[in-house]
Structure 1
Amino acid sequence: MTSSSSVTESSQHFRFFDLPSELRVTIHELILLLPNTVDLDPTNYQNIAPRLRLFLVSRRMHEEAYRTFYGGNTFRLFPLHGRFFHTKLPLLSRIPPRYRATMNTIELRLGPGWTAPPKGWVVDQHIGLSDARALRLLKIFVECDPASDDIFEGFRVGHDFYTIFCRGLVKKIYDYVPSLDEVQFNAYPSVPKNSPLMQALLREAAISKKRITWGLEGG
Structure 2
Amino acid sequence: MPRRAAQQLVGRRVTISKSSRTVTTMVDNAPPTPIPSNINTPLGSEYPSTYTSEAEGDVDGEIDGDIDGQVDEDVAKAMGALTLAPSAEATGSEASAPPKPLTRLERRRQYKPFPFLELPAELRVKIYEYFFDDTHYVLDLDPDNYRRIHKKLGFFRTCRTISLEAGYLFYSTHTFRIFPTHPGKHFKTKKPLLARMSSRQRSWITSLEMRLGPGWNKPPRGWVVNPALGLHECTSVRQLTVFVECDPSDGIFNGFRRADDFYEGFSRGLLTDVLTEMPFVNNVTFDAWSSVRRKGAMMRGLINTALSHGKHIRWGPERGWTDVDDEGEIVVPTSDMVATALLNGVGMDVVIVA
TM over 0.5: yes
Shift of 1:49: 1.1
State the structure with bigger RCO (CA 8 A, min sep 6), 1 or 2.
Answer: 1
Q: Is the 8 A contact 1:32 1:68 kept in 2?
A: no
Instruction: Please report the RMSD computed on the Cα atoms of aligned residues, expressed in angstroms.
Output: 1.6
1:133 to 222, 229, 235: 235
- Residue 118 of structure 1 corresponds to 220
Classify the secondary structure of the residue corresponding to 1:40: coil
- Residue 274 of structure 2 corresponds to 173
- Residue 168 of structure 2 corresponds to 67
Letter of the 2:281 partner, please give it.
L
Shift of 1:180: 0.8
Q: Is structure 2 residue 200 aligned with structure 1 residue 98? A: yes
Letter of the 1:95 partner, please give it.
M
Letter of the 2:153 partner, please give it.
L
Alpha-carbon distance in 1 for matches of 2:194, 2:200? 12
- Residue 150 of structure 1 corresponds to 251
1:28 to 121, 124, 128: 128
Letter of the 2:206 partner, please give it.
N
The alignment of Structure 1 onto Structure 2 pairs a total of residues equal to 210
Alpha-carbon distance in 2 for matches of 1:205, 1:26? 36
- Residue 57 of structure 2 corresponds to none
- Residue 296 of structure 2 corresponds to 195
Shift of 1:218: 4.8
Letter of the 1:134 partner, please give it.
S
Alpha-carbon distance in 1 for matches of 2:125, 2:311? 30
Q: Deviations over 1:50-86 (max 9, x none)?
A: 2112101111110111111111111111111222111
TM-score, length of structure 2 as denominator length: 0.57
Query: Whose radius of gyration is greater, 1 or 2?
Result: 2
Shift of 1:14: 2.1
Question: Which deviates further from its counterpart, 13-22 or 64-73?
Answer: 13-22
Instruction: Structure 1: state its 5+ residue gaps.
Output: none
- Residue 181 of structure 2 corresponds to 80
Instruction: Structure 2: state its 5+ residue gaps.
Output: 1-106, 321-354
Q: Is the 8 A contact 1:75 1:106 kept in 2?
A: yes
Q: Is structure 2 residue 184 aligned with structure 1 residue 184? A: no
- Residue 75 of structure 2 corresponds to none
Classify the secondary structure of the residue corresponding to 1:113: coil
Identity of aligned pairs, percent?
Answer: 43
Alpha-carbon distance in 2 for matches of 1:37, 1:74? 5
Question: Which deviates further from its counterpart, 204-213 or 106-115?
Answer: 204-213
Shift of 1:9: 3.3
TM-score, length of structure 1 as denominator length: 0.90
